[in-house]
Structure 1
Amino acid sequence: MDKSLLKFDDFFKSACYFEASLVIVAVFLGWVADIDPLENIYFSETAIAYGVIGTVPLFLMFLALEKMQGESVVNIRKLLLNTLGPGLHRYHWTDLFILAAIAGVSEELLFRGVIQPWIENSWGITAGLIGSNIVF
């Protein structure tokens, strides 16, 4: 009897709920530390352009790694397909995009909106940047 702790039928929904719950964690920790997680969030054409430009090199590296056949790259690909594949294979790319968006927004609120300023208030900007990245 193979009793897996991870139920692949519920994986997508659980992942969405988990990532979204990080917003609640961010709001709670922000309340505890008297930090507004939304304080430094702003949208502008320049910020969006920087985000897109910053994503291009990472996307190109991803495409290059997809073409590589090195043993370590193949092992990582197999691991990801074996662990995440069964829970996500039946979903459309738009569903995965929504999950990625939820994860991106919630993690930014928690780590950049609360944890980084919290550490910065105690130990300075450099410690806040490094510390929040280590915690992430």
Structure 2
Amino acid sequence: MGASILIAEDEPFIVESLNFLLTRAGHRVDAVDTGSRALQAMRGHRPDLLLLDIMLPETNGFDVLRRLRGEPELADMPVMILTAKGQEADRNRMIELGADDFVTKPFSNKDLLSRVEMLLEGGRAARGSTPSR
């Protein structure tokens, strides 16, 4: 069986799309719709990868990532940021907080899946590259 992936995203259509794409690729997928639920879910069962939206209710993705990197048992978990905020300042902040990769919405399913597979294999996406479209 594939990897365990947690999606933290509050847009149902995006969750449905990611769930379909990732389960078809053989992964186990769970999804939450708030930042605080993401933190709670990761503490209950550490996934192999977190797909994290920045604009989440309750606790935004920046805060989730900062807290995640501060917890020894979760600090090395691969995190891919999903964001509609593609400005350079936002990308730089994500990198400073420890994101492994980021993809801007809307994204190419093929590109997103290849980046997910690379992170699951222990790689890091090219942080200086332009985010996917």
User: What's the TM-score once normalised by structure 2's chain length?
Assistant: 0.26
| Structure (1 or 2) with the greater strand fraction | 2
Larger Rg: 1
| Structure (1 or 2) with the greater helix fraction | 1
Q: Which has the higher contact order (CA 8 A, sep 6+)?
A: 1
